[in-house]
Amino acid sequence: MVEWHVHDSLTVEAIPVLTAEDFRMAVANAVDQGARLVAFFAAPTVGGATRLYAILAWDGRSCLQALATDPGFGYPSLTPICPQAHWFEREIFEVHGITPHNHPWLKPIRFHDRQDGGERPAPCVTEYFTVHGSEVHEVAVGPVHAGIIEPGHFRFQCLGETVLHLEISLGYQHRGIEAQLPGGPDRRTIHFMETAAGDTTMGHTWAHCAALEAIAGVRPSPRAQAIRAIALELERLANHTGDLGALALDMGFLPTSSFCGRLRGDFLNMTALVCGNRFGRGLVRPGGVVWDIEPERAQELLRRVRTTVRDVRGAVRLFLESSMARNRLENTGALAVEHAVRLGLVGPAARACGVVRDDRWSYPQPDVPLPAGTPATGEGGDLLARAMVRAQEIETSAALVERLLQELPHGPLLLPMPKLPPQRMAVSLIEAWRGEVCHVVATDGEGRFAWYKVVDPSFHNWFGLTMVLRGTEISDFPLCNKSFNLSYCGHDL
């Protein structure tokens, strides 16, 4: 197995190619010993064959490993011995037509054109997991949901009010981003990154730039890195605040929901103060950032962060200290820590189960200080834990933003990017607000993208929501869903 540090690049040829069986055992053993499968995908070799790559992250040692296999048309599925692989294997099957033999539930995840030239499936028209019995009934929801949210399809198998199983079927948001990337980077690339999951613009653009910078051997200035970090934390503050407000809204706890609705916007406006766009578009480019935070702007941001966080604190305390909220959130929608670990969940959803997993600590970006303390974790993985983790992270993020604004280092904003060197590969990991964003990039003989893999945190976490619903009342679904708040477009790409 080849091992490297996240900010370095390597040659694709350095990755050992094992037999399918050795590959399977090596990945499963590493995961048993604590590695995480951050990406698992198929990509073309120079010779035009299709090769499988597994990228493993060792959080404790802050290093990455990779291994590969040439599967032909099929290979023994990893999922039965390594559940973290289950969704990746379905993706590989759907995109490349390579069959993981003995995969327990092999179906499309995005419903796009088939590689084998067979008929394109209609979106989410597939065989669903069903439960039989005279009193069992099925509830189907979506693609168009009640609120202003993205489309997806949910099938509940219910016995009375109790959900026996929920199956989530996505793909409505599939725009085909990854297919557009080979041959790049070009003038469109950064905009695909900015909109891959539009509420995670900072997470994806930074992951993209970090990968390119690793390949090019460019190290952005400490000032550029600090501005990126400020914007990433503002994105987290906005979304965590919004999520807590959304939980309050779904319970009918209106004071907190209306406070948080406003406060979320105040954080977005801080991002707009930095770059003119509320979602951070136009801020991050390979080599650094486009916009500076001058002393006066830093003072204004500092003032706004302090007052806004104070108001968030007030709004969230009202909610989380009320007996009504406690009663509703505690022990509802719980996820066992073993499930979170075995499925490879990331972000607040994993941390709420007690899993210590945060890339800001494990894979810090060059010249970015660690946030104070340790990653926020919860207990029991229920709705309350997911809310509490967010509330704690709001404090940590705000403290980090304040610190960065007070001691902004010097340096140029944007370094020129050279043409990318040929035949290099890099992996980047960014802890965005939903969890880990992972980009894997490889260049061809001319230094253009040979292939490009994007893994949004939602890719890992959708199945976590499925597990949470088992044995839960169907009326708890909206709250459980909000507590994960996953991205459809980030999954569908």
Q: Which residues, 305 to 364, sit near other proteins by CB under 8 A?
A: 311, 314-315, 318
344 versus 435: smaller Cβ distance to other proteins: 435
Q: State the minimum distance, in angstroms, from the CB of residue 97 to other proteins.
A: 18
Q: What is the Cα–Cα distance from 43 to 27, expressed in whole angstroms?
A: 18
Distance CA 52, CA 441 (A): 14
Using the rule CB under 8 A, which residue among 45, 62, 195, 423 binds other proteins? 195
* Closer residue to other proteins, CB minimum distance, 156 or 279: 279
- CB 37, min distance to other proteins, A: 26
Residue span 155-194 as binding mask against other proteins, x where in contact by CB under 8 A, dash where not: ----------------xxxxxx--xx------xx-xxx--
Angle between helices 222-250 and 201-216 (to 10 degrees): 150
Query: What are the tokens at 42?
Result: 């198929």
Site residues (CB under 8 A) for other proteins, limited to 242-301? 255, 258-259, 261-262, 264-265, 268-269, 272-279, 281-282, 290-291
Distance of closest approach, residue 342 Cβ to other proteins, in angstroms: 29
For other proteins, what does the binding mask look like between residues 431 and 470, x meaning CB under 8 A?
----------------------------------------
* Minimal distance, residue 490 CB to other proteins, in Å: 8
Q: Which of 252, 251, 263, 378 is nearest to 315 (CA)?
A: 263
**Member of 87, 111, 452, 477 binding other proteins (CB under 8 A):** 111
The answer to the question of residue 484 lying near other proteins (CB under 8 A) is: no
CB of 299 to other proteins, least distance (A): 14
Q: Where does this chain touch other proteins (CB under 8 A) — which range of 126-134, 141-149, 427-435, 443-451?
A: 141-149
Count of positions on this chain that bind other proteins (CB under 8 A): 60
Whichever of 74 and 198 has its CB closer to other proteins, that residue is: 198
247 in Cβ contact with 264 (< 8 Å): no
> Which is closer to other proteins, CB of 264 or CB of 453?
264
Q: Whole-number minimum distance, CB 433 to other proteins, in Å?
A: 12
Nearer to other proteins, 259 or 451 (CB): 259
User: 454 is written with which tokens?
Assistant: 């994007």
Residues near 385 by Cβ (< 8 Å), separated by ≥ 6? 352, 353, 378, 379
Where do contacts with other proteins occur on this chain (CB under 8 A)? 110-113, 123, 143-144, 146-151, 171-176, 179-180, 187-188, 190-192, 195-199, 201, 255, 258-259, 261-262, 264-265, 268-269, 272-279, 281-282, 290-291, 311, 314-315, 318, 487-489
